[in-house]
Amino acid sequence: MSFSKLSHSVLLLSLLTATLFADVTVEEPRLITQKEAEEIISAREEAQKKHRAEIRALIDSALVDEEFVHNNGKRKVILRRVKPVGAFVAKAKGVSAKGRAAVSHDLRAFEPVEYRMEHISMYTVVYNHSHSEITWRDSEDGQSFEYTIWTNVPLTYLRPLTSFEAEDVHYSYMGFVDLVDSKWEQERADNYSFHGHKYKSRWKDSPVTFSNVPEYVVVADDPSAVPAKLFEQMDSLIGYYLEQENSLRIQHENAETMNTAMKKYRDENPETPTDRVMIMWPEKNSRYLK
């Protein structure tokens, strides 16, 4: 087994991006406080409660032809056949022919954007926030394949990322990130051993000695068989990550703060089980709802 090593493109891309966008003012995200997160969550949840109450009032105002009730112990599921309600009929019918024509006309006014679209699918394990192991996946002509990649760039904050652009390519990103801490792994192994069990540690040392610059290594039996697409995607992704790491870190930490605020809100405002009501009404010429 051999390693295919490539580092220069990552550095070039990082420097190139900084140069190209040096004159563009982009507002950096900021860290939100726990109090701000709690206020955002509270306002959002209260607005949703109000909206649900309005919808429920509209549902309950419908004239019922017949009703079926299923009680599952905690709440009722109610299926109602009602006479058509104006607000619901308007939504069900959707956009009018005149509206569709206007939309089509507006869409024709847009000029097509010339760029390629690529999808990146990968699973990343970050060890001690020091090095990362990437499982890169792709398929072509009905054949699926994957490669393992090691890098000295700790991709800890990839989680908020869903898409990005590099040069003339728009990338959509689908991936998962696991964090493995050697100290935590050792504590877990000791705990298993204390109770007479064995624990297989998830920790892995990097099989490569990296230099002091960002690099990645592709593990392959035949380096010449590694698709050029992999190098292009890794150059773009790691280059973008290096350029945007602080922004991604802030987004990641804000998400953690919001999750904590949401948990606190739910603990302080436990959900009261309410009946679930589904309504239906016959459409003109329906063969099933007469």
Confidence of residue 85 (pLDDT cuts 50, 70, 90): low
Query: Mutual orientation of helices 34-60 and 228-268 as an angle, nearest 10°?
Result: 80
Q: How many CB atoms lie within 10 A of CB 14?
A: 18
- The pLDDT of 135-144, averaged and rounded, is 89
How many H helices and E strands in the chain?
6, 10
Query: What is the average pLDDT score of the chain?
Result: 80
Which is it for strands 169-180 and 163-166: parallel, antiparallel or unpaired? antiparallel
Whether residue 31 contacts residue 258, with contact meaning beta carbons closer than 8 Å, is answered with: no
User: Does the model's pTM come out above 0.85?
Assistant: no
| pLDDT score of 290 | 53
pLDDT at 108 over 80: no
